[in-house]
Structure 1
Amino acid sequence: MHLLFATSIVPDGALGSGYEIANAAIIDALRRSGARVTVLGFCWPGKQPSDPQNTVVLGQLDVRTDTASAGQKFGWLAKATLSGLTFSSVKLRAVPADQIRQAIKKAGPFDGYVLNSVQFAGAFENLFENLPSIFVAHNVEHQSALENAAAATGLLQRFLYRREARLLKRLEERLCAKARFVFTLAEEDRAALGVESDERSAALPLVTRAKAPRLAVGRRIDCDAALIGTWTWQPNRIGLDWFLGEVVPHLRKDFRIRIAGSRPADLASLHPGVEFVGRVPDAEAFIRSAAVVPLISRAGTGVQLKTIETFEFGLPSVATRNALRGIDHLPKNCVVCDDPVAFARALEQAADARSDAIDGSAFHRRQLSALDARIARGLETLGHSRHEIAA
Structure 2
Amino acid sequence: MSDLFFYGTLRYVPLLELVLDRPADHINLTQAELHGYGAYAVKDQIFPMVDKGEGRVTHGLLVQGLTPEDIDRLIYYEGGFDYDLHRLPLRTASGEMVEAEVFIPAPGLWEPSTPWSLDDWAADWGELTVLAAEEVMSHYGSLPASDIVPRFPAIRMRAQGRLAARRREVSKDWDISKDVVVRSHKRPYLGYFTMEEATLQHRRFDGSMGPELSRSALINGHASVILPYDPVRDCVLVIEQFRAPAFFIGDPNPWLIEAVAGMVDPGESPEDAARRETREEANVEVTELFSAGDGYSSSGSSAEFLHLFVGIADLSAPASTGGLATEGEDIRSHIIPYTEFMDRLDQGKLKNVPLISIANWLGRNHDRLRKDI
TM-score computed with the length of structure 2 as normaliser: 0.26
Q: Which protein has the larger Cα radius of gyration, Structure 1 or Structure 2?
A: 2
TM-score computed with the length of structure 1 as normaliser: 0.25
Higher helix share: 1
